[in-house]
Amino acid sequence: MKMHRFEEIWLIFGVAVLVISMAITGYQAFAQGMGPPSHKETIDPTQVENTAPFDNPGVYQTGENEYEVVMALQAFSFEPSEITVPKGAEVTFIMTSKDVIHGVSAPHTNLNTMVVPGQVQRITQTFHESEEFLLVCNEYCGTGHQMMSATITVEE
């Protein structure tokens, strides 16, 4: 049985796209170290409240224009739940979970990550506009998932 010419072309094209994508992704992940971080910083999830810096969740100024937001997540809340940072500052969120996997997402920003118990997640974001962001949990974490939110106020 002979394959149709167009079918052959599309088959070759499809395989080529797959191979090229895998080569690019593999090169970035392994040769350039761009793979997602995992198990870089670990923590005992039952001792979050007694482990620095999570024993004191909050917003801290760490440099002239740098801030750290230390956050502990649990079903179904963020601690702190009201965050205020200045516009243009480099804000590093340091997060962990006390129970199950949660997510953090601020729509229309690059702030979007999973927060896994036993691991410390860091993500840096600069907010260029003074506005209020709703920070939501985007990993289903139980019956109160849809109520799990916090606000980030970016001040002038």
Q: Which residues bind ligand CUA (CB under 6 A)?
A: 76, 102, 137, 139-141, 145, 148
Closest CB 102 distance from ligand CUA, rounded Å: 4
**DSSP conformational letter for 88:** T
Query: Between residues 67 and 97, which has the closer beta carbon with respect to ligand CUA?
Result: 97
Question: Minimal distance in Å, beta carbon 106 to ligand CUA?
Answer: 14
**Shortest distance in whole angstroms from residue 133 CB to ligand CUA:** 17
Q: Which is nearer to ligand CUA, 67 or 93 (CB)?
A: 93
Residue 72 makes CB contacts below 8 A (sequence gap 6+) with: 48, 49, 54, 57, 78, 79, 95, 96, 97, 98
Closer residue to ligand CUA (CB): 67 or 148: 148
| Least Cβ distance, residue 68 to ligand CUA (angstroms) | 22
Q: Give 109: exposed, middle or buried? Use CB within 10 Å, 0-12, 13-18, 19+.
A: middle
- For residues 67 and 78, which CB has a smaller minimum distance to ligand CUA in the complex? 78
Neighbours of 4 (CB within 10 A): 8
42 DSSP 8-state letter: B
User: Between residues 60 and 76, which has the closer beta carbon with respect to ligand CUA?
Assistant: 76
Q: Are 90 and 66 in contact (CB under 8 A)?
A: yes
Cβ atoms of residues 95 and 124 within 8 Å? no
121: nearest Cα among 111, 113, 109, 129 = 113
**Residue 120: CB minimum distance to ligand CUA, A:** 17
